[in-house]
Amino acid sequence: MATQEMTASRSRKSRSSQPTSMPPKNGSAGASPMKMAKALGWFSIGLGVTEIVAPGLLSKMIGTRRRSGTMRLMGLREVAAGIGILSSQRPGPWLWARVGGDFVDLAALASAEPRAKGRLSTAIGAVAGVTVLDAMCAQRFASASSTVHFTASTIINRSPDECYRYWRDITKLPTFIEHLKSVRMTGENRSHWVTQSPVGQDLEWDAEITEDTPGKQISWRSLEGSQFPNWGRVRFEEATGGRGTLVRLLMNYDAAAHPAAPFWIALLGADPGMRVRRDLLRFKQLMETGEIATTEGQPAGRRSSMNWLDRAVKI
């Protein structure tokens, strides 16, 4: 098995874009988006720990039937989002992940069996208020730096031509790209993409191949007006020492070109860069072994191929 190297990075849209670590100060009381984000991060951790440690007490306080398992999973999601916000210099995606989680919480509260209607209504109002605050803070970071870039690379024990040919048949991309449901050709270099978010709603867009160098590189971009503005490229280079092919993947997501884009990026994962790396790892496994390794259904393995962070994000 060839050794692999994975890297991930994020960069700003242009030199004129302000760093998200030092966004412009605006809003009430002169509070900067970063300070607000940190406060939301600590709030998220505090709420998450409470949901994990005392789910029954919290259920009683908000006036719902006790559902400890569900409450603890929500707590894991809150803690993961809080840690992500506090540890990141660009907390925008993590804030949008909180917004997505807030909507899930609102839906859960609205459908919950009430024990005390007054307290439940108060809880719904409180979550709605936090949702607005999360969205306002996330939007400030989106306006400061709208484009997020992710890169990943790995060495695959196959020739550049083999790797290129598989990737070039873009209808096969759903075999290794997580959440991607289908890709169908609509023209010579144009295609229609459908992906599914963790909450089950489909996101669709049209794209075109902008550069196609056989055995070396494929570049693409979404068409104007797409719900999910994105563009990227994949390069296939001969690895040193005859070790196969060095595959380099670059992907870009524009979080400002469409109002729903930041929300969808968050739903694809609190750390989309991690998704990119995992997709490339699945491509490596598929090319080298003909299948993607999983522990699904194995008694000795985990019950799911998702780790605890994936579960927390997808709640």
| Res 204: pLDDT | 86
Cα 77 from Cα 83, distance rounded (Å): 10
pLDDT tens across 193-248, in order? 998 765 556 778 999 999 999 999 999 999 987 877 888 999 999 999 889 999 99
Q: Are 156 and 287 in contact (CB under 8 A)?
A: yes
Which among 81, 58, 83 has a CA at the least distance from the CA of 70? Answer: 58
pLDDT in tens, 13-23: 333 333 333 33
In the block, residue with structure tokens 């990737």: 167
Alpha-helix residue ranges (DSSP H) falling in the chain: 33-53, 55-62, 68-87, 92-111, 117-144, 160-168, 261-267, 272-289, 308-314
High-pLDDT (> 70) share of the chain, %: 70
Closest CA to 44 of 130, 142, 109: 130
C-alpha dist (Å) from residue 294 to 182, 210, 252, 302: 21, 34, 28, 9
Q: Is 64 helix (H, G, I), strand (E, B) or coil?
A: strand
Most confident of 148-152, 158-162, 174-178: 158-162
pLDDT 10s digits, 74-103: 888 888 888 988 887 778 778 878 888 888
At 197, is the secondary structure helix, strand, or coil? Answer: coil
Tell me what pLDDT residue 275 has. 76
How is residue 236 written in tokens?
A: 């296939």
Exposed / middle / buried, residue 306 (Cβ in 10 Å: 0-12, 13-18, 19+):
middle
Transcribe 71-106 into DSSP letters. Answer: HHHHHHHHHHHHHHHHH-S--HHHHHHHHHHHHHHH
Amino acid at 55: P
Higher pLDDT, 26 or 278: 278
